[in-house]
Amino acid sequence: MRLIIMGPPGAGKGTQAKFIAERFGIPAISTGDIFRANVSQGTPLGVQAKSFMDQGLYVPDEVTNLMVRDRIDEKDAEHGFLLDGYPRTLAQVEELDGMIKFTGHKLDAVIVLTVDQDEIVDRLHRRAVEEGRDDDTPDVIRKRQEVYLEQTEPLIAVYKERGLVLEIDGLGEVTEVTVRIFAGLASVSES
């Protein structure tokens, strides 16, 4: 399976990615993890990425694309992968299309975790209080949700046109959400 998981901050993408990856025997690939690995290993791409990250800037698409390409070319991703945090722009969607097409495969599904914004704000604010993170106020959390929607809505629309989107209710117990995801993916693998 070649999958993407999307959802607003706090929707549970990281948690669900672990279960999906385990179920299908594929790596869960997070762009945040890729950035940290390249930076800590001092790779040429990591050095480039760090110069932007240190300034509080987004890592440009060219650098991000190369890091993702390198990662999905690794042996453990030969039979599939789950991307979390990529693509984030329409240009990255096109780049990912090229990467997958080059391997002779196709994208199987885009899992979109849908959640009630107020519930997510409450969830993230509780987590921030528990972890002593003063900067995660409800207003800041709402702003991040708005930015996510602005940036991600066009991507979801592209994947909907292609018939790849699996909208999954992301609220409820972790296991309930996992069951919904697996049921949705079962229908994809049957078609």
126 is catalytic: no
φ, ψ for residue 83, nearest 5 deg:
-95, 135
Per the prediction, the chain carries an average pLDDT of 89
pLDDT on residue 157: 95
pLDDT on residue 65: 92
CA distance 113 to 169: 6
133 is catalytic: yes
For residues 152-173, average pLDDT: 94
Domain architecture of the chain: domains with CATH: 2-186 (3.40.50.300)
Selecting among 2, 13, 71, 180, the annotated active-site residue is 13
More confident: 153 or 190? 153
Query: pLDDT tens digit string along 115-136?
Result: 888 888 888 888 888 888 777 7
Q: Are strands 109-114 and 81-84 parallel, antiparallel or unpaired?
A: unpaired
Selecting among 36, 50, 69, 144, the annotated active-site residue is 144
36 is catalytic: no
Selecting among 133, 143, 160, 162, the annotated active-site residue is 133
Query: Under a CB-based contact definition with an 8 Å cutoff, are residues 29 and 82 in contact?
Result: yes
Model confidence band, residue 191 (pLDDT cutoffs 50, 70, 90): low
CA distance 95 to 86: 11
Selecting among 127, 143, 160, 162, the annotated active-site residue is 127
